[in-house]
Structure 1
């Protein structure tokens, strides 16, 4: 076991060194010409200036994050001996290491596995240098902490989920699979309480904490989303639309774009209804059910979203890693599809992003493959979650099958 842990540590150090090397070379055209890194030293640094003066950048249409993101963007200021860019990357690596360490520690417990730590360690570098210059590693760390602490302390789990939700919204879904009864009530009550207290503190020290809601409502269809893939295909059949930079992403404009956006929102609502139905109908809970439900929920949310940026794969890798840390998980096929989609995502952005932006046949094919893999992962994850929650079939005599303990009593 010690050798496995040392191998994981060595792999983490080696792969992160490669990621840093790619970041240092990100000015090269093949790596996006510095576009990925520019978000930190230009946009995040600009927001830091406003936040440091006690105000959220409410007049900036690019500000689309819940107020907790402000704390993450202010954190690099705690390392004044580094530039803002260097401090942000350093803190992202700290969060990354914390996720790997938490998964490795969880994997040492009975009924657990180190596969989760291995997936996170080897899967994140598939996105090249992009995870180092986005908020998503930090928010994924909060979601992973919520899931891994659920069994030991539902209160702590609810608190972590609330903090993650205040940073980027989606961690609210990680509590979907909490076991019925006291654990669920405790986790959800603490999540609500922590969220209210944290939001009150942010509202006390900063102005306009909820300004992000206005920008979110105006979002269109990003070219990398499932709806964007449909429009990219339509462009080859004569649809005339254009691509423009809006709200921090490249979005389609033109005929039927609003209809595609509406369908995406409808599909998200339908996905949430399916998850609620699973929650009501599920009769069997295993130690991995909270993990499996979280991955399924975020997959459905991601696939149906109007926006499907490359960094969204960081969330899915983190949740898939948590699933694989348990030997009871039913989400191994979905995790494999997510890893494959992650590898294709790096080709979509930044390697061949010009092809995607110009919706050439190459770019369209890449989106079809990447989003097809994610859609398949979402379908597989939900079907397996649903089946795992159903009681065992009845015996031929009509009585329900019962689970026989491994150590059965000896026949007299």
Structure 2
């Protein structure tokens, strides 16, 4: 029997039954049927992304950008040379491959930069949905694709004006290839890691789950060798690993999960805690008693959490494969284990991170989207939680970030709820991994490769 989110302690069936009834009242049966077709999904994709493209075009015609793309545009215009910049963060806070889309968006000059950036994100999102649904042929995956579209819409510009929005669809495609095509998945994840570090968490989950781990290592080494060769060609090898050290001494960011106690100390004006802007890296941070110590501890805590989750994933694979006689004649679904491990590791990268930027929430969506396509019932709980997280994040940024950064207690409450949901999501993911690894009877489904 497949594992379920329904057990003696927790049952979500009544909650989701209520949501289904509400959906059925809002959407007639004919509309639901049409939306669950390739044409309906394509219409939704076009409408969602057309809205972002039109807004980007209007801003670009006025010579403007949005959010972090202002910074990316300045870097591209300066040729990614810090000597040509007048302060602000260095372009080398990102891995080197992140500079490629910035350079591409800047090819036509600063004017259309933002539009071209959004267009690139749109193309990658289209690729992700095409792979997720097998170009519309996998009817069962269409609801999962709709979930991805709704999440994308709710996250707003956090998925279109940041580098993270480029990496999320690449990770989704990699997870869709998954354990069936580990080399391709690993190449995509390695390339995405050289754009933004977080896909390394998913690659770690893939390494823990696949049969031929050598393929994962070879893909990572080969991709990294190409990156080093590219860096050598442009004379940037000395800066290749700067992204690992550029932000090492930063403090606790305002939105980070572990910053929540100091957030409230600042709001309540207790213990000299305060919010301040770190202009060197364009980040709002919180300072107070113990924040310096916590800032130092966060990186080793993050590494420890990642290693423990990877170990749990590895344990779940091997423990779940054994029956009572110790023979590997049954076991866990490797794809399910990969997705659970990927979500747990990505959530660990968010929860145990002293940087809590709102765009980090897009890291969590690829595993959930592919999980819904793989087994809607098993993944509906994290899917619902992530929608709630997206809504809360949208209220935090861009709607009321100024109020939050000026000690508004209502917005501090919204941020606290969002952070609690992240912790709950992490605990759910850990519990899911543990459940997959528990020794079961011979009724456990046979090991699957895809």
TM-score, length-normalised on structure 1?
Answer: 0.84
In structure 2, relative to structure 1, the CA distance for the partners of 1:232 and 1:54 (3 Å cut) is closer
User: Does residue 271 of structure 1 match 2:305?
Assistant: yes
User: Does residue 203 of structure 1 match 2:232?
Assistant: yes
User: Does residue 322 of structure 1 match 2:356?
Assistant: no
What is the aligned-residue RMSD (CA, Å)?
Answer: 3.1
Moved more, 377-386 or 59-68: 59-68
**What is the match of residue 212 of structure 1?**
243
Q: Deviations over 1:157-193 (max 9, x none)?
A: 1111110110001111113333656432212321222
**What is the match of residue 14 of structure 1?**
47
Cα separation, 2, equivalents of 1:35 and 1:371: 32
Cα separation, 2, equivalents of 1:51 and 1:320: 37
* Deviation at residue 288 of structure 1 after TM alignment: 2.0
Q: Deviations over 1:177-225 (max 9, x none)?
A: 3365643221232122212222232233142222223312122111111
User: Does residue 387 of structure 1 match 2:415?
Assistant: no
* Deviation at residue 43 of structure 1 after TM alignment: 1.1
Q: Could you list the runs of 5+ residues in structure 1 that have no partner in the other structure?
A: 28-33, 393-399, 406-412
In structure 2, relative to structure 1, the CA distance for the partners of 1:158 and 1:57 (3 Å cut) is farther
> Does structure 2 retain, via aligned residues, the 8 Å contact 1:341–1:373?
yes
How many residue pairs match? The answer is 390
In structure 2, relative to structure 1, the CA distance for the partners of 1:343 and 1:299 (3 Å cut) is same
In structure 2, relative to structure 1, the CA distance for the partners of 1:231 and 1:5 (3 Å cut) is same
SS at match of 1:129: helix
**What is the match of residue 187 of structure 1?**
216
Cα separation, 2, equivalents of 1:150 and 1:44: 32
User: Does residue 232 of structure 1 match 2:263?
Assistant: yes
1:299 pairs with 340, 347, 360, which one? 347
> Does structure 1 retain, via aligned residues, the 8 Å contact 2:72–2:102?
yes
Cα separation, 2, equivalents of 1:314 and 1:43: 20
Cα separation, 2, equivalents of 1:67 and 1:384: 35
> Does structure 2 retain, via aligned residues, the 8 Å contact 1:331–1:381?
no
In structure 2, relative to structure 1, the CA distance for the partners of 1:330 and 1:239 (3 Å cut) is farther
* Deviation at residue 301 of structure 1 after TM alignment: 1.0
Q: Could you list the runs of 5+ residues in structure 2 that have no partner in the other structure?
A: 1-32, 321-331
1:249 pairs with 274, 283, 288, which one? 283
- Off by >6 Å, runs of 4+ in structure 1: 24-27, 52-59
> Does structure 2 retain, via aligned residues, the 8 Å contact 1:8–1:121?
no
User: Does residue 5 of structure 1 match 2:38?
Assistant: yes
